[in-house]
Structure 1
């Protein structure tokens, strides 16, 4: 490299980075498209297998199980990404193995804690006192098992992503589960045409469990190939826990920002209205899918490049990937805004067309996440997880306060407005703070996209 000019070296580095992005991005994109397709197919089948009331309860159960998984993972999924990528990037292979060991031990502990807590305390409280949904109480054991499976998937995906293994992170982070669940629901619909809530939740657990077991076996093979330099010690646990706890609070608040709207509706409105809102929210999540592809690839790169002091290259990469996500997201928002009624009718049936306004509002809120790029991940992967936590908590509290004020008079539409506003506020503040703390802009830039494309 000594004979290269600075300009040529810059182009070489960007091209190398581009190859890494597209290598992992190809898997992330294929996985996201597959997960979206099979997830959409599962939702369409569920709308036909279950009554609107049971479908509303299913959405609540999935939301509760996902939140439990986020809590049970203890922030370890993203802590693993950062610490493993940093260790590999600086050649500390012994530290890498110790980090993985600490993450797995703490992850098992998290699974046990959240499972017991839900079984003994939260299950009956949520189903009886908060949501007034006896059918949710009846599947308390199943929801606890669902939490355990989803928690292990979160941790598996984070560890694989830390190793830059986007392929297995994608497969075991949800793709395999989506394929198995959609296939089993299709067979159930073909042979029975209707089902019970307990049956479909059990199918979800079995699908996720099969994926988790295979992923755990492959992770063991990967980890045992790394040289062991020193036993797992207290310092490794402290390092992982120190990084993980602010990420846990941030993740829980981010998740609450995305799910508390459904919980508020479940507490104050009918299960049928929850079903309509949940159906629209599932579609609106497709807006942020292109950014989710990007965020499946860039976390270990952010941690590695920032640790190496390559901030200029890191900013160009982040603005480049944000531009890649912005164009398809904008088209999706336009489609949902203009064609909301036929899309909802096609996917879920005529009963759910009432969610058109909710779909448009939630799509606009999700678009704010895409336009500001990977700003939250940039803070988390560069040691500013506490800042990210504070911003997310503030945005979450603001959104909850507004939603509680509008749910009674305005129902689902009012909650959608509050959610949209909360998303915009959170992402704009996160974007500004990422620049202030790291000196890096993360929003989309088509000029960066054109310049990097020209290097090919």
Structure 2
């Protein structure tokens, strides 16, 4: 099977890889600089406020990311600018309203949330300063998927991931920032600048205006996956949220730094998904399940090959990696090892989420997160009081592993593809197996 049928696809895939690599590198570097500049305590407050903002921004988007990507992607292929403009206008209007309401609620209830939920009154100023960022980050995500649907991968990654982190890094390094509150201001201003720049470029990329899709079509598309997206966020952040309410800022900072480092393992998964997701959709529509299985298993082998070295480094040299964040972070070495295992399983199970969504089995994907998210919360509330930050790391990894294994089961049940049997179809593994059996 010829995976790459033309040079344009190969070129765009390479550009997408380097753009995402730059985005991941900047995000990690931003976390390291914050840890070293602010120290373990102040960075703990910043990371906790940042995670709250990220979760609420996802909540504000109502699942419209997937809707905008779906409508713009299909409409762009036919140069139907009416649909592209229409879905963007409606999505932006909806997200503006919801994110503004949630941003206002966070601002007015910041002291209650900081003091009565997280038991950290010092967190309130950061929540208030970063509250407007919910609007900017939410809209930037819509801009990012719109560019992705328009096949402008560089612009998509640039405005949704790169520009904010770049501006924040510049502010941290050149403005003499020394506190979590100052960092929060820099982040909020960076998000606003990124938003205006993104809108300016996006408007120039659109064609003529015309008839738009209906509101019912948009809500029918976005709402089913909204809950899935929220549950996925809970799986990622439940350990940090519970730790934020029960542990000190230092432990929260160590857990956040460890999780950000561990997620470097899953970088290859995001890159591979960029290429294989639309191909899964096309193959399923054509009934080419055998080709679909071959592509899925080949991608697992590729991801294992790329992620094993990163896992080995995190398991063998966790202290050295955590020391990059500065003094006090080295105590999070065990957190990094635990979280790295969870992220490796996330990669090793393959693109199971896209296999389900691209084949129209969103409900099956929903079942995996609707089971895993409550488990994540229950495990976090049980293990964090017992084991501290280690309990938060264990809870997160367990939930990630459970979510992916359930998704593997759903893929096997609905499509007949078992992504755990990654050696199937590989001549190398088949020859090695035959040699082993002959002995």
TM-score (norm 2): 0.89
Q: What is the aligned partner in structure 2 of residue 248 from structure 1?
A: 226
Check 1:289–1:128 CA distance in 2 against 1; reply closer, same or farther (3 A cut).
same
1:165 aligned to 2:145?
A: no
1:47 aligned to 2:35?
A: yes
Residues of 2 paired with 1:277 and 1:164: CA distance? 36
TM superposition shift of 1:171? 0.9
Residues of 1 paired with 2:71 and 2:412: CA distance? 22
Q: 1:156 is matched with which residue: 119, 143, 147?
A: 143
TM superposition shift of 1:213? 1.6
Q: 1:276 is matched with which residue: 254, 277, 302?
A: 254
Unaligned runs of 5+ in 1: 1-9, 452-456
Check 1:449–1:199 CA distance in 2 against 1; reply closer, same or farther (3 A cut).
farther
TM superposition shift of 1:84? 2.8
1:115 aligned to 2:103?
A: yes
Name which of structure 1's ranges 196-205 and 206-215 shifts more when overlaid on structure 2.
206-215
Residues of 1 paired with 2:25 and 2:103: CA distance? 30
Check 1:99–1:300 CA distance in 2 against 1; reply closer, same or farther (3 A cut).
farther
TM superposition shift of 1:413? 1.4
The answer to whether the 8 A contact 2:234-2:376 is kept is: no
TM superposition shift of 1:118? 1.9
Check 1:306–1:80 CA distance in 2 against 1; reply closer, same or farther (3 A cut).
farther
The answer to whether the 8 A contact 1:435-1:441 is kept is: yes
Check 1:210–1:320 CA distance in 2 against 1; reply closer, same or farther (3 A cut).
farther
Residues of 1 paired with 2:412 and 2:95: CA distance? 32
Match of 1:15, SS state, is coil
Unaligned runs of 5+ in 2: 429-439
The answer to whether the 8 A contact 2:40-2:326 is kept is: no
Residues of 2 paired with 1:75 and 1:67: CA distance? 13
Name which of structure 1's ranges 332-341 and 350-359 shifts more when overlaid on structure 2.
350-359
Residues of 2 paired with 1:443 and 1:239: CA distance? 36
Residues of 2 paired with 1:105 and 1:297: CA distance? 30
Q: What is the aligned partner in structure 2 of residue 4 from structure 1?
A: none
Q: 1:326 is matched with which residue: 289, 297, 304?
A: 304
Check 1:430–1:55 CA distance in 2 against 1; reply closer, same or farther (3 A cut).
same
1:125 aligned to 2:103?
A: no
1:317 aligned to 2:295?
A: yes
Q: What is the aligned partner in structure 2 of residue 36 from structure 1?
A: 24
Match of 1:132, SS state, is coil
TM superposition shift of 1:309? 4.6
The answer to whether the 8 A contact 1:399-1:418 is kept is: yes
Deviations 1:386-442 (A, max 9, x none): 322221021010121122111112111122222211111100111221333345555
Residues of 2 paired with 1:449 and 1:22: CA distance? 22
Q: What is the aligned partner in structure 1 of residue 432 from structure 2?
A: none
Name which of structure 1's ranges 112-121 and 130-139 shifts more when overlaid on structure 2.
112-121
Q: What is the aligned partner in structure 2 of residue 403 from structure 1?
A: 380
Q: What is the aligned partner in structure 2 of residue 238 from structure 1?
A: 216
TM superposition shift of 1:349? 2.3
1:179 aligned to 2:166?
A: yes
The answer to whether the 8 A contact 2:83-2:212 is kept is: no
Deviations 1:79-123 (A, max 9, x none): 2222333444577664444333332222222322322332344x3
Match of 1:139, SS state, is helix
Q: 1:196 is matched with which residue: 159, 179, 182?
A: 179
Name which of structure 1's ranges 271-280 and 24-33 shifts more when overlaid on structure 2.
24-33
Check 1:27–1:51 CA distance in 2 against 1; reply closer, same or farther (3 A cut).
same
TM superposition shift of 1:443? 5.7
Deviations 1:246-279 (A, max 9, x none): 2211111111101110111111111111111111
The answer to whether the 8 A contact 1:264-1:407 is kept is: yes
Report the count of equivalent residues.
428
Residues of 1 paired with 2:101 and 2:273: CA distance? 28
Name which of structure 1's ranges 171-180 and 330-339 shifts more when overlaid on structure 2.
171-180
The answer to whether the 8 A contact 1:320-1:444 is kept is: no
Match of 2:62, SS state, is coil
Check 1:352–1:156 CA distance in 2 against 1; reply closer, same or farther (3 A cut).
same
Q: What is the aligned partner in structure 1 of residue 402 from structure 2?
A: 425
TM superposition shift of 1:450? 7.6
Deviations 1:205-229 (A, max 9, x none): 2222222222212221222x2x545
What's the RMSD between the two structures over aligned residues? Answer: 2.5
Q: What is the aligned partner in structure 2 of residue 384 from structure 1?
A: 361
Residues of 2 paired with 1:307 and 1:237: CA distance? 26
1:215 aligned to 2:198?
A: yes
